[in-house]
Structures are given as structure tokens and as C-alpha cells.
A and B are shown apart, each in its own frame.
Chain A
């Protein structure tokens, strides 16, 4: 029985009483490593800036042992920014994994489906037409994302939502909204236009605790909801008919998870702007690391958080504090990664 022994190498069943779980050891290791990376990058990121603080001091301050100056810089200025980065990355990673799995298409990420553009449109309306406050812009982006998500769902709905239709409708919606965004920018005066463009690149500059709490609350509500439905989503990879035959309430699970994914990506975009490519690349990278079929939700979430914080650190390191918005770095990294992916897939004969 080589079958069982190698199977046992990869996965381990954990059973106590009525509880039984199957643990994918490789995926579990990947998650732990990614979490360690994300935390390490966060500590380094908190220490990075015009006033550098060694990692040891950062840790000491975080646990309440630093001096007053360090305490102010760490806890009031940099910690909320890093937390926003972690949460935005996690939300984008998870949202991207959900969308890619629901659409059964690696390109079915929120950037491609037009959700980010929808959030941008909401934010631009606030900036350009109303010269709104930061809060108004955040709300506008949130509403824009939700409305776009709803529009895509309704347009793609025909006796259920199917993968390729979702992607095609999303691309169409994305084109329309991008055109609207272009129009809004050309209408804007110079100050508003500059503000709009900075927002559109996606940045963590000047994020504080008022951004952290709503995002944290949303993730705390949505994450258990999403994970409770993850097993159904796993089944849905095999097609609607098979999963339906297995007793998954397909349309219900899909609607619930799509709403969760739209909320996650809209909230993330509202908090940090449309940070490009994280939602597209994080699930793909996570999948290649775990080498496990299935939506890989938790690994994607951890990968998103790690990616965003690392990209922010890289941009600060290379260009100095607050010089380069993180969206530029993720865009470049994500674009390069996507090209690499396409080239290797082509070599493997799959495209």
C-alpha cells in the first residue's frame, strides 16, 4: 500500500473524540512561514523611515517597554500604517482567491473584474465633484466597489453565475468604469487631479488607527463566514453539477462568498486605494507554494499580507519614506510575475 503511506506523508489526520480534521502538512508549513515573514517584515517596516529604530527596540516598544519618543513613533505613526498594510494585503489576497475560485479562472481577480475601478470611480466622484474629505473618499470608494460588484453579479446572472461569463461581464464593466474614471480626471482641476492620481496608485501613507478598526472589524466578521463555506467552495471547483450532487447549496454558497469577496476588496481599496495586482498574484503564488488543489484561502490571505508589507518596505527602502506609493511596487512586481507566469505556462504547453 504505497498509496496510503505517501498520502499519509502529505496529509495527516487529526482525530480526537468527535472531532476529525485533515491537515495538509505542506500547506500548514507554508502558512506558518508566511506568517513569520509577514510579522518579521512588519517589525522591520516599523523600524524603517526618517527616524530609523532597530528591530529590537521596535519589539520592546510594541510590548510596552520603549521610551516616550519611540512609543509615539511606533504606536501612533507607524504601527497603524503597518496594520492597515497587513489587513489590506490579507483582504485582497483572500478576496482574490475567492474570486479566482468562483470564476474558475486565474484572471478572475477583482482588478480584472472591474471592482477596483468601481471603487476608484466612487473615490473620484468624491474628490473631483465634491472635493470631499478623506472619510468621504473612503466611503465613496466603498460604495463604488459594492455597486460595481452588484452590477457584475446581476449582469452575469442567468440561472446562476458561471465562471467565464463572470469574467467577460467583469471585463466589460471594467472598461466602462475606466472610461468614466478617465472622464472624471479630465474634468478635475489640478489640485484635485493630483490628489486623485495619488489615491489611484494605492498608498499606505498617513494611514492611522481610524482606518485600522473598521477594516479589522470587517475581517473579523467575514473571515469565519468565508472559512465556514470554504469546503463548499472546494467542491465547486469540480463543476456546479458535481458539487450540487454532493449536497453543496451551490448558488447560496457562491452568492455568500461573492458578497464577502466584494466587501473585502472594496474595504481594502477604500482604505489604501486600488493597490494593484495583489489580489491577482497572491493566490497564484500561494498555490504554487502549497502545491495543493483547492482555493487555498488561508495561504492566499497570508501571502497577500506578506506581499503588501514587503512591497511597502521595499519602496521605502529604495526610495525613502513616503516617496513611492506601495501600489507602484506591487504593480511592477505583480506585472513581472504575471509575465513570468505566462512564459512558463507557455513553455509547459498550457497556453
Chain B
């Protein structure tokens, strides 16, 4: 299942990253210090997003997941360090050029009053348009295609306010798809959705990754969803990368305890064979808290 030596791998990985920086990967953060006003979220953080991966960023609340995503999508300017897109500092690139390469689905999106699905998806074409070229046949085609891919084509004339949460999220994803970017960043795309729609949205993401070869980066809360869908996982704690790699290589009980402070078992997911995190029973955890000084190792499945 998982190797025990991920501590070593980790140090090897991070130094390796520094040496072979921006060899091929299109998007990376180099030694970035991220802060809101004076509140520092992350110091000297380096992350590479492997091309053609479905990268998922996980970590406890307030560990800097969304902040990292904001920095990667140039919403937040690093106080120090830089974010590189195709070898260029992202802030120095023209806004529309970035928007044609890298899309972002933020958490805070507002559907304007009385807007139809088709109209909203069409707005994703903005970076491809200009004052003279406002609605080309290409725009029309891409919008139809994006709606078909996300299964909202038959909703095209419906008002966005009338849709269910799951449908609405699909519409927003369709808008991001219409942007036609090889890289797509999603900030907690499954929040506020019930389990069926969560899986639905994640399936859609996996499809986009596998069939269209897009590079996806998502922040997810659910570790099991992350382990099941990600091809590359980045675990953050207090603004630092604790581990990164394929979920089956890095998700261990030790890692979960280190990152989330939660004692658990990691077993094979009976459906997919990917790691499945099962939190330890309350009694076991409280017992452990009492005997903490004995440094009881996290249990593994017998």
C-alpha cells in the first residue's frame, strides 16, 4: 500500500524540486511568502504542478490551501518569491493572456440577476474576445461544447437562480471550460453539495483531466475524495508542504496524523484500491491522548 519512508522522500523531493525548477512544468510557485496584510499564511513555499496531472491540495482548515490557489492564479501577489507560468512571472503577463492559459473557479461567484445558463457560460469567452470581436462562431461553438460536456446543454435557456446547487456548480464549471484553458484551478468545487453531487462534480473533473488532458488543480476538504481522484496530492500544514506525490505513495496513517492531527487507519478503498482514511474510534483516540507521552504509533490495519 504505502511506503514507510515518505519522510526521506519528502526531503529528497523538495531539494530535487529546487534543482530542476521549471524544467517542463507550466505552473509553479517558487519560495513564495503569502500574506494578507500583515498576517503571514505561508513562508518560502515552493510547489510545482505537474503537467497533465489532477493535483489536489489538502490540509486542515486555515493551512493555506486556498491562499496557495489564489497565489497560483495571480489573485494574490506573493510578498516574496514568484509564481511562474510557462517560465514567466505571472504578474508580469498581460491579464487576458493569463486568462487564456489558466482558468479559476473561485468559491465566491455571483450569478447576476436574471441571467440564463447560456449567457453565463458565454461570459467565459471574455479573454478570447475584443472590442471588435465580441461573438464569433468559434465562441458559439465552444459554448455549446462546454455545455454539452458538463451536461447542462438542455438548461441553456433556464435562469441560473432556478437551478439546484449541483446544476449551478456544473454551469460554473462550464463557464470555466468555455475559457478553454489548458490549466484549470478549482477552489473547493464540492462545498455545499450533497454526496451524490460531490461525486458528480469530481467525476466531471476526472473526465476533463483524462479525456481532454487538462491540468487540474483543486482544493478539496474530503481526504478520501482527494485520495480517490487525485493523480498528485499536495498535503499542506501551516503553510508548508508536508508531503506530495501520488496518493497511494504518500497517504499513510502517519501522514494523516502529522497533517491533520487525527489518529486513523489507512486501508485500501474496496472500490478503487486507493487509500481510504478511516478515523480511529473516539475511545481509541481519547485513550491515546492520555497515553500520549508513550508515543503510541498510529495503528495500521491488522
Residues on A close to B: CB < 8 A? 2-4, 6-7, 13, 15, 18-22, 104, 159, 228, 231, 234-235, 237-239, 241-242, 244-249, 291-294
Contact = CB atoms under 8 A, between A and B. Distances in A.
Contacts, number: 103
B100 A247 contact: yes
Interface stretch (B123-131, B235-243, B262-270, B276-284): B123-131
Prevailing SS type, chain A contact patch: mixed
A3 B112 contact: no
A242 B186 CA distance: 11
Contact of A246 (B107, B116, B123): B123
Nearest to B155: A3
Contacts of A242: 106, 109-110
B123 A241 contact: no
16 contacts: A4-B144, A6-B157, A7-B156, A7-B157, A18-B133, A20-B137, A22-B135, A239-B106, A239-B109, A239-B110, A241-B104, A247-B99, A293-B112, A293-B113, A293-B114, A294-B112
Interface in B124-172: 124, 126-127, 129, 131-137, 139-140, 144, 147, 153-154, 156-157
Contacts of B99: 245-247
A248 B75 CA distance: 12
- Among A238, A246, A249, A292, residue most surrounded by chain B Cβ atoms (within 10 Å): A246
B102 to A, nearest CB: 8
B119 A246 contact: no
Interface residues of B, number: 49
Given A3-B153, A231-B126, A293-B115, 15 more contacts: A13-B137, A15-B137, A22-B135, A228-B131, A238-B112, A241-B75, A241-B104, A242-B110, A245-B103, A246-B179, A247-B95, A247-B98, A249-B95, A293-B112, A293-B114
B209 to A, nearest CB: 19
A77 B246 CA distance: 81
A260 B134 CA distance: 23
Given A7-B118, A247-B100, A247-B127, A238 B110 contact: yes
Given A247-B100, A293-B112, A231 B129 contact: yes
B135 A237 contact: no
B155 to A, nearest CB: 8
Contacts of A247: 95-100, 126-127
A88 to B, nearest CB: 28
Contact of B140 (A6, A13, A244): A13
B111 interface: yes
Contacts of B97: 247
B92 interface: no
Contacts of B112: 237-238, 293-294
**Most chain A Cβ neighbours within 10 Å, of B73, B95, B98:** B95
Contacts of B115: 293
Given A104-B110, A238-B110, A293-B112, A20 B135 contact: yes
Given A7-B118, A7-B156, A247-B99, A20 B109 contact: no
Interface string B281-300: 00000000000000000000
B108 interface: yes
Contacts of B147: 3
A18 B176 CA distance: 25
Nearest to A252: B95
Nearest to A9: B157
B106 A241 contact: yes
Contacts of A20: 132-137, 139
A13 B138 CA distance: 12
A244 B75 contact: yes
Nearest to B126: A246
A104 B108 CA distance: 14
A4 B154 CA distance: 10
Interface string B205-225: 000000000000000000000
A2 B123 contact: no
A238 B109 contact: yes
Contacts of A2: 157
Contacts of B140: 13
A312 to B, nearest CB: 31
Pick the most buried of A15, A244, A245: most chain B CB atoms within 10 A of its CB. A245
Most B CB atoms within 10 A — which of A231, A244, A292? A244
Contact of A3 (B96, B120, B123, B157): B157
A245 B110 contact: no
Contacts of A293: 112-115, 119
A7 B147 CA distance: 14
A139 to B, nearest CB: 35
Nearest to B107: A241
Nearest to A21: B134
Nearest to A12: B135
B156 A246 contact: no
Nearest to B97: A247
- Which of A231, A234, A241: most chain B CB closer than 10 A? A241
A351 to B, nearest CB: 13
Contacts of A248: 95, 126
A3 B156 contact: yes
Contacts of B95: 244, 247-249
A19 B136 CA distance: 8
Contacts of B123: 234-235, 238, 246
